[in-house]
Structure 1
């Protein structure tokens, strides 16, 4: 199911240095239907390339297994994520002169939340996603779905005016070839907007739950610029946001107009992320966080308080496994995605139930902590009644009256 890598995923250099190893984890994106179902596991260790500085998983996993029928994430279930994706579409519609017949491609389209925001008269919208068949019922008739991994071969007839790839560029076995193929199908006047977890923000926010089997690369802007230059793309804009524990959004295109001053300022700030000491400090923070979270849950249990998890998620499964939290400390996890009802978390084997069915709960541990605003809004009544919410990251925080 996995093998140790020998070369950097983007520059193919063999000089890879191990940074740290979180341990062996069950595949975090799979939610078994029974406690006894066997879920494969493998190491989560990070290495850094001496040549280009890319931080990446030290092992290669079978993507078809990671993004198979059991893959559980769906964009359209969370108000904060819907607002984020729709906000992007509104912004790009205001900035770029897109016509209704222009080809627009969303790679990693999931349930079409992003594409569905475009006006209904836009008839040349295409979503590409290997898990697409699972979400095809959420696709309006005017949006074409390609339920497979992205390939330029699917777009020989027409160049795209807009290509988007949100939270998927770090999932690639060969990101350089992916970028090359995107460049091939991009119109000379088109733009490609990518967004994914940003290594410096992941470190700053202690967001170790971003480290999972499907996230193969952990990017700084410097590696994106390195690849973009090789395939003839320019960086037209860069911005940052707090989605998914801290993300970078990069706009690329074939035309001139690179924001050299902005890019160079960011590259200068990224230099310390080539130092091993940066990652030693990060790892020490994670160990302290684990001790504090376990101590809190044990203390609440001893006091007779009922604590449940909230949000059965890929990232949450990393937190549970890294901290060794099981049904003893967290008897159930509440969820809004009906696909996950009556299933279990991988490794920790905690039952997943529908939200609203819980009784006499004192505390809710919010596993998708990066969607904090959504949970605070959703749990207003729970908080008014004296309930408390625990956000494990970026630092341990309890919110309640």
Structure 2
């Protein structure tokens, strides 16, 4: 990471000055530089694994003016999301999380059979299927054709599109204003922060609600979750910067919930500025916690890169030692975060023989960059390895239960973050 005395100069990429996509400032400082990696969801086939692979810088910077942590948009959303490898419904705990959200949101927003709900980045219908089950009219706005098709097969109406102010106006004109607009884990995925917020405002009713769930930068820093940094995550939000981003679209933050999902997330509740009440006590408490951690100043973000390098050193040392002792180590899961971890640490099949995943789309493919083979989960029971490295560590409880059988032959689970743990 750049030292504080040199990081306050204007940031450049390929000789071009970059500016904050929220406030326009060119004064950005280094937060975490993970080198150059391929896009984390572009899994390789047998054929493409033998071909050159593009890589892009993975260097997060923080705006000195508005404090938004961000990646320069080296790749476009169209490159990543037109066909997408991530299907939300393969995580049973995530589907259950969505069901609980629908129940609580229906109560908060007073939703009934005459209401209308829109989800942005609705994926394969994992959430809106619960809205359909309540008899509430809904629409998913999902840019990826393949996962959108899966949602339609579940009976979830889905528009294939990215959210822009124009898309928001189109949805409102064709379907009417939405009583609730929600977006789970999409707010980090859009390079046009202001346009996205304006799109939310265009869809929501003048007395409606907007719910945005996104990973919390506070927990990312405290728990050293550097592997959640990848190219399709353009922003990393504190509640303060999330509040500012929503305000850019005419939405006012009124409440927040702290969640365990994705290692620690915030669920921001906002309303059109014209009808919004004063922020809740919880909003003030979370803002105070962020300020106490130093994240309301540019300098408070310094020091994260050093903690990240320690995690890399510990994990690689463990894998090298296991290889020298003749132990077999395989992975569980092939999530985007796992590919950031593998590439930054330089972990390849000589250290991690293969990984497994429940998503059939990934079977027979290889992880981007590191080219580790991906197999069905049954492969672990067949091979009985000595260690299983858990790549989607955020699903620890769910995966510990799924992998309880490895105890039969004495295998141990390895969790790399926030620090190396072998259990």
Give the TM-score category using the shorter length.
over 0.9
Residue in 1 that maps onto 2:398: 374
Tell me if the contact between 2:82 and 2:145 (Cα under 8 Å) persists in the aligned partners.
Answer: no
- Is residue 269 of structure 2 the alignment partner of residue 269 of structure 1? no
1:175 corresponds, among 174, 177, 193, to 193
Residue 389 of structure 2 aligns to a residue in which SS?
A: strand
Kindly report which structure 2 residues correspond to 1:229-308, keeping only aligned pairs within 5 A, or say none.
229-254=247-272, 255-271=275-291, 272-275=294-297, 278-308=300-330
- Is residue 119 of structure 2 the alignment partner of residue 97 of structure 1? no
Deviations 1:142-196 (A, max 9, x none): 4211112122133124100011100011111111121112112211221110001
Residue in 1 that maps onto 2:218: 200
Residue 309 of structure 2 aligns to a residue in which SS?
A: helix
Tell me if the contact between 2:73 and 2:191 (Cα under 8 Å) persists in the aligned partners.
Answer: no
Kindly report which structure 2 residues correspond to 1:45-194, keeping only aligned pairs within 5 A, or say none.
45-69=59-83, 71-120=84-133, 122=135, 124-140=137-153, 142-150=155-163, 151-155=167-171, 156-157=173-174, 158-194=176-212
Residue in 1 that maps onto 2:420: 396
Task: Give the Cα–Cα distance (whole angstroms) in 1 for the partners of residues 95 and 109 of structure 2.
Answer: 21
Tell me if the contact between 1:75 and 1:111 (Cα under 8 Å) persists in the aligned partners.
Answer: yes
Shift of residue 276 of structure 1?
5.3
Task: Give the Cα–Cα distance (whole angstroms) in 1 for the partners of residues 248 and 363 of structure 2.
Answer: 46
Residue 215 of structure 1 aligns to a residue in which SS?
A: coil
Higher mean C-alpha deviation, range 139-148 or range 320-329? 139-148
Task: Give the Cα–Cα distance (whole angstroms) in 1 for the partners of residues 279 and 391 of structure 2.
Answer: 37
The gaps in structure 2 that reach 5 residues or longer are 1-12
Residue 224 of structure 2 aligns to a residue in which SS?
A: coil
Task: Give the Cα–Cα distance (whole angstroms) in 2 for the partners of residues 78 and 378 of structure 1.
Answer: 11
Task: Give the Cα–Cα distance (whole angstroms) in 1 for the partners of residues 416 and 159 of structure 2.
Answer: 37
Residue in 1 that maps onto 2:332: 310
Task: Give the Cα–Cα distance (whole angstroms) in 2 for the partners of residues 276 and 13 of structure 1.
Answer: 13
Deviations 1:199-225 (A, max 9, x none): 111011111011100101111111222
Residue in 2 that maps onto 1:331: 353
Shift of residue 5 of structure 1?
6.1
Residue 143 of structure 2 aligns to a residue in which SS?
A: coil
Tell me if the contact between 2:56 and 2:74 (Cα under 8 Å) persists in the aligned partners.
Answer: no
Report the number of matched residues.
397
Task: Give the Cα–Cα distance (whole angstroms) in 2 for the partners of residues 228 and 25 of structure 1.
Answer: 30
Deviations 1:243-299 (A, max 9, x none): 112111101112232325432332233231255554442211111111100111111
Residue in 2 that maps onto 1:354: 376
Give TM-score, length-normalised by structure 2: 0.89
Shift of residue 232 of structure 1?
3.3
Task: Give the Cα–Cα distance (whole angstroms) in 1 for the partners of residues 43 and 233 of structure 2.
Answer: 18
Higher mean C-alpha deviation, range 383-392 or range 336-345? 383-392
Residue 295 of structure 2 aligns to a residue in which SS?
A: helix
Residue in 2 that maps onto 1:25: 37
Task: Give the Cα–Cα distance (whole angstroms) in 2 for the partners of residues 144 and 154 of structure 1.
Answer: 15
Task: Give the Cα–Cα distance (whole angstroms) in 2 for the partners of residues 39 and 265 of structure 1.
Answer: 45
Residue in 2 that maps onto 1:343: 365
Tell me if the contact between 1:125 and 1:142 (Cα under 8 Å) persists in the aligned partners.
Answer: no
Higher mean C-alpha deviation, range 136-145 or range 279-288? 136-145
Residue in 2 that maps onto 1:41: 55
Residue 329 of structure 1 aligns to a residue in which SS?
A: coil
Give TM-score, length-normalised by structure 1: 0.93
Tell me if the contact between 2:384 and 2:411 (Cα under 8 Å) persists in the aligned partners.
Answer: no
Tell me if the contact between 1:210 and 1:245 (Cα under 8 Å) persists in the aligned partners.
Answer: no
Tell me if the contact between 2:212 and 2:268 (Cα under 8 Å) persists in the aligned partners.
Answer: yes
Deviations 1:359-379 (A, max 9, x none): 131111010011101101101
Higher mean C-alpha deviation, range 268-277 or range 94-103? 268-277
RMSD: 1.9
Structure 2 CA distance for partners of 1:90 and 1:318, relative to 1, 3 Å: same
